[in-house]
Amino acid sequence: QVEHPVTELVTGLDLVGLQLRIGAGEKLAGERPVERGHAVEVRLNAEDPDRDFAPSPGRITLLELPSGPGIRVDSHAYNGYFVPPNYDSMIGKLIAYGATREQAIKRMRIALSEMVVEGIQTNIPLHRELMLDAKFVEGGTSIHYLENRLAAKQQAAPEEA
């Protein structure tokens, strides 16, 4: 599950470790985990949101990852890594945890502002915009939120030109 870090942060469970234990035949306690706080995750993709999310393969010439309280980065990328053109464009996941949704979003904003990826295009600028979008910050958006937001932005663009 791509979003498993969110579940891990709000429950304190190591889901991958639990899956390995189950795979080894261990029985797990049936207690329901206690959920606490809020987590927000973004997929860091090597793609250009301004060009219909076209892949952006190439060499990462500089990669600086954020850190700090409540920040988790899961990535295989590194300085000098070559993003191949024929696979999933995800280069990592950035997850921010906080006691509240508001705190998690604030931490995500800071983490995204600290993130540096050079040599390729990424969707980081889009994530920065989304963390400031009132509808997202308020919560309760649907799975169609992003496509509707991008369509509205595209319709407004010709009018502004």
Question: pLDDT per residue over 72-87, tens digit each?
Answer: 999 999 999 999 998 8
Q: Residue 70: which residues within 8 A CB-CB, separation 6 or more?
A: 96, 97, 98, 103, 104, 107
Q: Residue 150: which pLDDT band, with cuts at 50, 70 and 90? A: confident
Say if residue 40's pLDDT is above 70. yes
Q: Residue 31: which pLDDT band, with cuts at 50, 70 and 90? A: confident
Rounded to 5°, the CA angle 111-16-21 comes to 160
Q: Residue 30: which pLDDT band, with cuts at 50, 70 and 90? A: confident
- Name the more confident of 45 and 148: 45
What is the pLDDT, as a whole number, of residue 49? 84
Mean pLDDT, rounded, for 87-97: 94
CB burial readout 68-105, b (16+ within 10 A) else e: eebbbbeeebeeebebeeeeebbbbbbbbbbeeeebbb
8 A C-beta contact, residue 141 and residue 84: no
What is the pLDDT, as a whole number, of residue 140? 82
What is the pLDDT, as a whole number, of residue 1? 55
